[in-house]
Amino acid sequence: MIKRALVTGASAGFGEAICRQLLADGYQVIGAARRLEKLQSLQKELGDNFIPVQMDMRSTQSIDQALASLEGRENQIDLLVNNAGLALGLDKANQADFRDWLTMIETNIIGLTYLTRQLLPSMVERNSGLIINMGSTAGTVPYPGANVYGSTKAFVKQFSLNLRADLAGTKIRVTNIEPGLCEGTEFSTVRFKGDEERVAQTYAGAHAIQAVDIANTVSWIASQPEHLNINRIEIMPVSQTFGPQPVFRD
């Protein structure tokens, strides 16, 4: 029987790479994102086992509508990848735009927890499933300007661990992936609101993680036997360690 995955933030970056890899692994993949046209373009390339669905993680109503459009398939999700998330700005707390803080909270916390809550009962009923949340090293390692973004990712880490505690006695697995500096995605373009010069400066000489690295990590976690749970997995490029971002040398 074919396994089914739901991947949020599927239109680009980590999400797109994860969808491609899971399709190669034999999954039917429901790709969810705000930009339906990008998902539909991906479907033309990837085929009928990729199912596009429009979903805005900032809106519980949008999540409900997206799940309703799946016509029962939402009750047969074997793998949920809560990938959608964002950072906005790198200003210190006293200078930050509160609207950016609110958007991060709505997306990274409320949307993620709401979607998980909607899909979890069917997993518990079937006593089967895997939830992979996309955290960040920012949820553990503080750095200037990470204020609310880092806090949302700390929430995701603790939420993942508490899900495991709640699900003790079931066969449902939960993993939090915590990437460090990554490039080749829209993350920093969104964070710096289209300032490509600042994006380029962020990654100069960094040899950062690529989206395919995260996709391969998701694939590896999903391939592990059902008795094995990966609680957390923290990944950094060799050029990065702990604390504020270092000055990179080639």
What does the alpha-carbon distance between residue 95 and residue 17 come to, in Å, rounded to a whole number? 35
The dihedrals phi and psi of 67, each to the nearest 5 degrees, come to -65, -40
- DSSP calls for 105-119: IIIIIIIHHHHHHHH
Tokens of 133: 């949340």
Which residues is 33 bridged to in the sheet? Answer: 54
| Count of Cβ atoms closer than 10 Å to residue 229 Cβ | 15
CB 136 within 8 A of CB 84: no
Residue 149 a catalytic site member: yes
What does the alpha-carbon distance between residue 62 and residue 84 come to, in Å, rounded to a whole number? 14
What does the alpha-carbon distance between residue 128 and residue 222 come to, in Å, rounded to a whole number? 12
The number of angstroms, rounded, from the C-alpha of 133 to the middle of its chain's C-alpha atoms is 6
Which is catalytic among the residues 27, 114, 143, 149?
A: 149
* H or E segment to which residue 82 belongs: strand 79-82
User: Where in the sequence numbering do the catalytic residues fall?
Assistant: 149
